[in-house]
Amino acid sequence: MPGVKHKKVMSNVHRVALLFSSAALWGADGQFLKWMDRIAQEQLSQREAAVARVHTVTEAEARKQAVRAKILELIGGLPDYSGPLNAQITGRIETPKYVIEKVIFESLPKVFVTANVYRPKEPGRYPGVLMPMGHWNEGKPAAQEIAANLAMKGFALVVYTAPPLTSMVIRQTSRYVETQESNAGSTI
């Protein structure tokens, strides 16, 4: 029943939009943040309980598949493209405990993405984190501090800036995603 699911999702979207638009009405005592924190803690508890039920490799594989399927559902799937990234390292900053590599790559043909790769200085295999740069009050310095701290704790991060899609219309075909300049100037 896709119609019912769509209505439920849109209802949730409208609720969240209403909450964010009225956040100022929640007062300076942080009621909104407390409410959001409570929801996050409930979800973390549910995740912890689900992970605690995993005792075998088979159960771990099943959980991995379920999590992957949920993530793909939430992001709307992935484009069917497996071409070259044409990645280039354009600069490098070394600190005593971590390294920042400045990179540029093509996520899709002619769609360039710039990123900084933060990683521990020592060679090895590290868990990876994708960290999109958004527009937030603290700006880039806050993101840089988060990335540096995680790199010093043994993570490798790709801190990327999403391609400018606000002036593009994206049309997905069965083979790849094409981009075309839009004259409408609207935001996607």
Q: Which domains does the chain have, with CATH numbers?
A: 2-75 (no CATH), 88-181 (3.40.50.1820)
Q: At 116, is the secondary structure helix, strand, or coil?
A: strand
Q: Give start and end residues of each alpha helix (H) in the chain.
A: 2-21, 31-52, 57-75, 139-152
What is d(CA 47, CA 43) in angstroms, rounded to the nearest whole number? 6
Q: What is the DSSP string of 136-151?
A: -TTHHHHHHHHHHHHH
Q: At 155, is the secondary structure helix, strand, or coil?
A: coil
What does the angle CA 60 – CA 61 – CA 64 come to, to the nearest 5 degrees? Answer: 85
pLDDT of residue 14: 54
Task: State pTM to two decimals.
Answer: 0.50
What is d(CA 119, CA 158) in angstroms, rounded to the nearest whole number? 9
Please identify every stretch of the chain with a pLDDT value under 50, giving residue numbers as ranges: 1-4, 6, 9, 165-188
pLDDT of residue 104: 93
Sorted by sequence, the CB contacts under 8 Å of residue 178 that are 6+ apart come out as: 170, 171
169 burial via Cβ count (<10 Å: 0-12, 13-18, 19+): middle
Amino acid present at 41: Q
Model confidence pLDDT, tens digit, residues 82-92: 889 999 999 99
**What number of CA atoms fall less than 13 Å from residue 66's CA on the CB side?**
10
What is d(CA 102, CA 124) in angstroms, rounded to the nearest whole number? 19
Q: Which two tokens stand for residue 72?
A: 């793909």
Model confidence pLDDT, tens digit, residues 50-80: 999 999 999 999 999 999 999 999 888 888 8
pLDDT of residue 66: 94
Q: Which two tokens stand for residue 28?
A: 């300076």
Helix %, strand %, coil % for the chain, to 5?
40, 25, 30
Sorted by sequence, the CB contacts under 8 Å of residue 103 that are 6+ apart come out as: 87, 88, 89, 90, 114, 115, 116, 117
